[in-house]
Amino acid sequence: MAKIEGKEHPSVGLFRDYLRIRTVHPNPDYDGAIAFLEKLSTEVGLPYKKVEVTPGRVVLIVSWEGTDPKLKSILLNSHMDVVPAFEDQWRFDPFAAQKDEEGNIYGRGAQDMKCVTIQYIEAIRKLKSEGKRYLRTIHLSIVPDEEIGGQNGMKKLTEHEAFRALNIGFALDEGLANPTDAYTAFYGERNVWWVIVHCPGSPGHGSRFIENNAGEKVRRVLNSFLEFREEEKKRLNSSKCLTLGNVTTVNLTTLKGGVAYNVIPNELIASFDIRIPPTEDLQAFEEQLKKWCQNAGEGVFFEFFQKTMSDKLTSTDLSNPWWNAFSSACREMDMTVQTEIFPASTDTRFIREMGYPAIGFSPMNHTPILLHDHNEYLNEKVFLKGIEVYSHLLPTLASVSHLSGEA
């Protein structure tokens, strides 16, 4: 799908229009995004419905019915919301979708993940315009609140009767850019543990050596957590076989406490963002956290602000018909695909937890990873190539023949 001579390709124009809708937290314009996507779906001839999964939070479901709608469907998931941008650090206004002389389109959500939503729809538009129709139904779920944990977005959708009615067999969701010639497919993702460690202690005057104080305890906590962090960092850097998704990351994110410069506080609180591969023994790691707290001193304890406990992985063995279809389509396009565990978290975890095979995939190669970063951009040629990729992938997935257990 080459650039139309003398003017911008209409698919690129749609992508830029979508980027301009300020679906940025804390007050995302979901109404504007849904109205835009409704109009686009109508233009393509795709029926849609809106599902309010929780008060004020609506999921848009767009469908392209297959020739045998009783068979399990393909789900294409994406999210509308984007994270805030520090505008003074950007080359261009992050919500203007400015394109530079090299065809790089700057905008919050350019990679994460408004590009994919438009690529899904434009690939289906292309296939429909050619008179194509396939065995299995394809559904698009376009959800809110992924960037703040997905609890009122995809999580609520998976609990809704509308989700069960989709009769899903396989799902695609977001991935990451790849700076090389290859593409990356994610078959699992790390568990997110946001841990709050409370270090109570004896208060007193700042001029004295107070025993059992909170400062000494929080120091021991920090030493234990961050020494483990260094071990995992060294393990990652010393092995060419490991990616970020294969190791556990620990990062100190907040420190709270204290009332005055000359008063030893009665409590200090440290918070950590911990990401754990699904291949690790999660119960054993939790026991390790308990030991670190016990060793830090009397009364030290931790609690979870967020905790996922999933060991769900999507098989990348060719015996899995869905992966076989995905990978064969990529081979036909001469695409090199690297398989990894996703280092952060996406809505895909909710889909896998329901028992559905799912792959995280965003067709962006020759592109630096810039999600949540300053000057997030995607080149228009890479964007248009992604539509071609989906135009080949979707027919292959939607043409997977009857599977065992299907009517």
CB 338 within 8 A of CB 243: no
Angle, helices 114-129/10-19, rounded to nearest 10 degrees: 150
The total number of residues shown for the chain amounts to 407
Annotated catalytic, 81?
yes
Kindly name the residue from 112, 122, 145, 146 that is annotated as catalytic.
146
Work out whether strand 191-200 and strand 301-307 pair parallel, antiparallel, or are unpaired.
antiparallel
- Peptide bond preceding 113: is omega within 30 degrees of 0, i.e. cis? yes
How far is 248 from 242, CA to CA, in rounded Å?
11
- Residue 94 CA to residue 374 CA, distance in Å, equals 9
Is residue 274 within 8 A of residue 309, CB to CB? The reply is: no
Q: 371 to each of 112, 174, 313, how far by Cα in Å?
A: 6, 11, 23
Residue pair 172/110 in contact by the 8 Å Cβ criterion? no
How many angstroms separate the CA atoms of 176 and 367, rounded?
9
Per residue, the 3-state secondary structure of 79-128, as one string, reads ECCECCCCHHHCCCCCCCCCECCCCEEECCCCCCCHHHHHHHHHHHHHHH
Both tokens of 289, joined, read: 């956290």
Among 81, 145, 173, 340, the active-site one is 81
Greatest pairwise CA separation for the chain in angstroms: 82
The DSSP secondary-structure symbol of 147 reads: G
Question: Which run of H or of E encompasses 42?
Answer: helix 30-44
Secondary structure (3-state) at 212: coil
Token pair of 230 as six digits = 């260094």
Residue 16, token pair as written in the block: 């830029």
Q: Which residues are catalytic?
A: 81, 146
